[in-house]
Amino acid sequence: MRTFSQFCVVLVTMTISVTANGIVISNMWNWFIVPLGVIPIGFWLAVGISLTVCLFTAWHNDNTQQKELSKAVASNLANIIAKFTVLGLGAIVRLFI
């Protein structure tokens, strides 16, 4: 039962992280790239771009032990906070353009 609950917690945090990626990428693209003449993108295209970049840039080392659940969740939450911090900074920059 513990393994299933760990799986659910990691699945929820990963879903929130992917959603945050889509929101941040689509907004930043539409704020800063669209004025250059490129077409705007939506949320799902931004999620696809994010997952594609993660696929090609992620690496896995079989020699490392699996992180503890609390460390994995804390890492995911820190990444989500960082993404929304970047979004906030982008919104501030957009005000001055």
Over residues 33-66, the pLDDT tens digits come to 999 999 999 999 999 998 898 888 876 554 444 5
Reported as half-sphere exposure (CB side, CA atoms, 13 A), residue 77 has a value of: 8
Report the distance separating Cα 64 and Cα 13, nearest Å: 22
Identify the sign of the CA torsion 49, 44, 79, 66: negative
- The reported pLDDT for the residue numbered 2 is 67
CB neighbours of 31 closer than 8 A, spacing ≥ 6? 90, 91, 94
Residue 25: pLDDT band by 50, 70, 90 thresholds?
Answer: very high
Overall average pLDDT of the 28-34 stretch? 94
End-to-end Cα distance, the chain: 53
Residue 79: pLDDT band by 50, 70, 90 thresholds?
Answer: confident
The answer, yes or no, to whether residue 70 has pLDDT greater than 80, is no
Residue 1: pLDDT band by 50, 70, 90 thresholds?
Answer: low
